[in-house]
Amino acid sequence: MSSEAVADIGLIGLAVMGQNLILNMNDHGFKVCAFNRTVAKVDHFLANEAKGTEIVGAHSVEELCRKLKRPRKVMLLVKAGSAVDAFIEQLLPHLEKGDIIIDGGNSHFPDSIRRTKELEAKGLLFVGCGVSGGEEGARYGPSLMPGGSEAAWPHLKPIFQAIAAKADGQPCCDWVGETGAGHYVKMVHNGIEYGDMQMICEAYQLLRDGLGLSHAQIGDIFDAWNKEELNSFLIEITRDIMRFNDTDGKPLVEKIRDTAGQKGTGKWTAISSLDMGVPVTLIGEAVYARCLSSIKDERTRASKVLAGPVGKKFEGNHKQFVTYLGQALYAAKIISYAQGFMLLREAAKEFNWHLNYGGIALMWKGGCIIRSAFLGDIKNAYVSNPNIESLMFDPFFQKALANAQDGWRYVASQSVLLGIPAPAITTALSFYDGYRTEHLPANLLQAQRDYFGAHTYELLDQPGKYIHTNWTGRGGNVSSSTYDA
Ligand SMILES: *[C@@H]1O[C@H](CO)[C@@H](O)[C@H](O)[C@H]1NC(C)=O
Ligand SMILES: *[C@@H]1O[C@H](CO)[C@@H](O)[C@H](O)[C@H]1NC(C)=O
Ligand SMILES: *[C@@H]1O[C@H](CO)[C@@H](O)[C@H](O)[C@H]1NC(C)=O
Ligand SMILES: CC(=O)N[C@H]1CO[C@H](CO)[C@@H](O)[C@@H]1O
C-alpha cells in the first residue's frame, strides 16, 4: 500500500451536505479526503471551512483513490441521476476488488438496485445510503439509512454510527438491507414526512378557519401538544412558525402564498404503493393535497362560484375541540406509519430484502425530519413482535386508536360539516374503518365485474373456486380474459 494512502474515506461533492458530512466525520476522528469536480472548490474548502482540521483534498479522482486506505471507501454526495453513474464510471479504473462506493444522494431506489448489481458483478461493493436531517443533521448528526452490499457494512459501521444522530443513546444508523433497501427506506421516510406535514396543516386550518383562532393562540396549542404524545420536530417547528412575526408584527406565515412545492420523493412513495397494491392512502392524499394547492388561480375562481355549507360556524366547545383535534392527529399519525410499514413489508417481499423494522424506527427516531417520541413506541412494538402484521395489532397502538377514535370521528365530521378540507385526517379514518371491517362491499364489485366482463368471483364458503354467472340470460360465451376492470 502506498504511503500516500492516509484517508479513511473519500467524499465527492462539496455542496453543503457534502461539506457538513466531511466536517462531522473529521470531528469524530476520521481522516477524510475531499474532492469536487470544480477543483478550485476543494482548495477553497481546505483553506476555509476545513482549515485547521485533518481533512485532505484531491485534485483528481485518481489522486482521491490513491489517498484512500483499503478497502477504499468513496462516498458520493452529488445530484441524483446521471451524475452518480458518471462518477462511478470515473472511479472504476482506480478501484480494486472489495473497494466500496457509497451513494449518499437522494437516488431513486431502482437505480440503487441496479448499481449494487452492476458493481458487485465487477467485484466491488455498493451502498445506497439515505441521509436525512438537512444541513444541520449532516453537520451534527444525521439519520443514515445504508443498504446494498452487506459485505461493506463492517467497514462503514464505525464511521457511520459515529457521525449519526443518537436516540436513547443508540445511533440512528444501522444496516437496512440488500440492494436498494437504504434508498427505499429513505423514500418512505420522506413520504411519511409528507403525511405528517399535511396532517399538521389540516389541524392548523381547522383551528384558524374553523375556530377562528389567531396564530399566537394556535402556537400555544402546538406548544402544548409538543409536551404530550405528539412531541416531534415538526410539531415543534410549527409552534415556532406560528409565533414568528414579520417586521410589521404580523405572523409571517399568514403572508406566504399557499402553493406547495415538491421534489418527488412523496410521489415516488405513492407510485410504489400503487405498484405494490398497498393502500398507503394518507401519503397519497398528502401528495394530492400539494397538487391541489398548486392550482391556486383555479381555486381562487372556484372559491367565488362553488357553494359550500352556508352560514356554518363551529358552535361547539373550543377547548373540547382542541383536545379532539390532538386525538385526531395522533390517530391519523398511527395510521400513516402503519401504512408506511405495510409498504415496507411488501417491498421486502417484492425485492427479497430482510428489513429490520424496529431498527428502521430507531433510525428515524433522531436526526431526521420525522423524528419524534412516537417512533420509540413503534420500535417497541417491533421489538416485542418483529413479525407483527400491522402496527395496529400492537396492543399499545390498538389501545391508542381506541382511545382516540371518538375525538377523531368528531373532528372528521366537523371538517366535513364546516366544509374545511382535511384529506389526511379523513382518509386515515376511512382506512381504519375499512381495515377493521370484515365484510366490505367488494362482493358487489365482484358481481359487477362478472356481470359486464365475466371476470368470475369466489363464494364466501368456497374460496379458490372461480364461478361465472349468466346474469342477464343473454349473450354468448364470454371469456374472462378479454378485458379488465
Ligand atoms: C407576535 O405578534 C403578536 C400580536 O400580533 C403578539 O401577541 C406576539 O407576542 C408576537 N410574538 C412574538 C414572538 O413577538
Ligand atoms: C345465458 O342464458 C341464456 C338464456 O338462458 C342463454 O341463451 C345463453 O347462452 C347463456 N349464456 C351463457 C354464457 O351461458
Ligand atoms: C358455451 O360454453 C359451453 C360450456 O363451455 C359450451 O357447452 C357451449 O357450446 C358454448 N356455446 C357457444 C355458443 O359457444
Ligand atoms: C460533482 C461535484 O463535485 N460538484 C459540486 C462541486 O461543488 C459545488 C459547490 O461549490 C457543487 O454545487 C457541485 O455540485
Identify which has the larger pLDDT, 461 or 478: 461
150-177 burial, b at 16+ Cβ within 10 Å, e below that, comes to eebbebbeebbbbbbbebeebbbbbbbb
- Determine whether the shortest distance from the Cβ of 245 to ligand 1 is under 6 A: yes
| Percentage of residues of the chain with pLDDT beyond 90 | 93
3-state secondary structure of 131: strand
Q: What's residue 3's pLDDT?
A: 73
Cβ proximity of 163 and 21 under 8 Å: yes
Give the position, in ligand 3's atom list, of the atom nearest the Cα of 477.
1
- Residue 250 Cα to ligand 1 midpoint, Å, equals 8
The rounded distance, in Å, linking the Cα atoms of 360 and 354 is 12
Q: What's residue 482's pLDDT?
A: 47
The pLDDT tens digits of the residues spanning 47-106 come to 999 999 999 999 999 999 999 999 999 999 999 999 999 999 999 999 999 999 999 999
| Burial class of 311 by CB neighbour count within 10 A (0 to 12, 13 to 18, 19+) | exposed
The pLDDT tens digits of the residues spanning 99-150 come to 999 999 999 999 999 999 999 999 999 999 999 998 999 999 999 999 999 9
| Percentage of residues of the chain with pLDDT beyond 70 | 97
- Residue 15 Cα to ligand 4 midpoint, Å, equals 5
CA 463 to chain centre: 37
The rounded distance, in Å, linking the Cα atoms of 287 and 292 is 9
Task: Give me the residue label for grid cell 346474469.
Answer: 471
Q: What's residue 477's pLDDT?
A: 57
In the residue annotation, 186 being an active-site residue is answered as: yes
3-state secondary structure of 276: helix
Angle (CA) 59 62 65, round 5°: 105
Would you place residue 478 in the very low, low, confident or very high pLDDT band (cuts 50, 70, 90)? Answer: low
Cell of 364: 428515524
Strand partners, 251: 245
106 is in an annotated binding site: yes
Angle between helix 265-276 and 318-351 (nearest 10): 60
User: What does the pLDDT average to over 207-227?
Assistant: 97
Q: What's residue 473's pLDDT?
A: 82
Lowest-confidence segment of 44-58, 98-112, 272-286, 303-317 by average pLDDT: 303-317
Strand partners, 103: 76, 128
Q: What's residue 313's pLDDT?
A: 84
The pLDDT tens digits of the residues spanning 380-435 come to 999 999 999 999 999 999 999 999 999 999 999 999 999 999 999 999 999 999 99
- Residue 207 Cα to ligand 4 midpoint, Å, equals 43
**DSSP E strand boundaries for 110-233:** 125-132, 143-148, 166-167, 170-171, 177-178
The rounded distance, in Å, linking the Cα atoms of 2 and 394 is 55
CA 138 to chain centre: 17
- Residue 343 Cα to ligand 1 midpoint, Å, equals 43
| Backbone phi and psi for residue 276, each to the nearest 5 degrees, phi listed first | -95, 0
3-state secondary structure of 388: coil
238 is in an annotated binding site: no
78 is in an annotated binding site: yes
- Proximal ligand: closest to the CA of 241: 1
11, 12, 14: residue to mutate for ligand 4 pocket, most atoms within 8 A of CB? 14
- Determine whether the shortest distance from the Cβ of 15 to ligand 4 is under 6 A: yes
The rounded distance, in Å, linking the Cα atoms of 367 and 339 is 22
Task: Give me the residue label for grid cell 462506493.
Answer: 101
The pLDDT tens digits of the residues spanning 3-42 come to 789 999 999 999 999 999 999 999 999 999 999 999 999 9
Catalytic residue, from 193, 202, 333, 365: name it. 193
- Residue 44 Cα to ligand 4 midpoint, Å, equals 12
Lowest-confidence segment of 12-16, 197-201, 297-301, 474-478 by average pLDDT: 474-478
188 is in an annotated binding site: no
The rounded distance, in Å, linking the Cα atoms of 11 and 156 is 13
The rounded distance, in Å, linking the Cα atoms of 362 and 147 is 16
Q: What is the CA radius of gyration of the chain?
A: 26
Q: What's residue 4's pLDDT?
A: 85
Q: What's residue 353's pLDDT?
A: 97
Would you place residue 476 in the very low, low, confident or very high pLDDT band (cuts 50, 70, 90)? Answer: low
- Determine whether the shortest distance from the Cβ of 249 to ligand 1 is under 6 A: yes
Q: How far apart are the first and last CA of the chain?
A: 64
User: What does the pLDDT average to over 215-236?
Assistant: 97
| Backbone phi and psi for residue 260, each to the nearest 5 degrees, phi listed first | -90, 140
| Burial class of 321 by CB neighbour count within 10 A (0 to 12, 13 to 18, 19+) | buried
Name the average pLDDT for the chain: 95
Give the position, in ligand 4's atom list, of the atom nearest the Cα of 83.
1
Would you place residue 310 in the very low, low, confident or very high pLDDT band (cuts 50, 70, 90)? Answer: confident
User: What does the pLDDT average to over 159-168?
Assistant: 96
User: Is a pLDDT exceeding 60 seen at residue 254?
Assistant: yes
* Residue nearest (by alpha carbon) to ligand 2 atom 11: 476
Identify which has the larger pLDDT, 157 or 265: 157
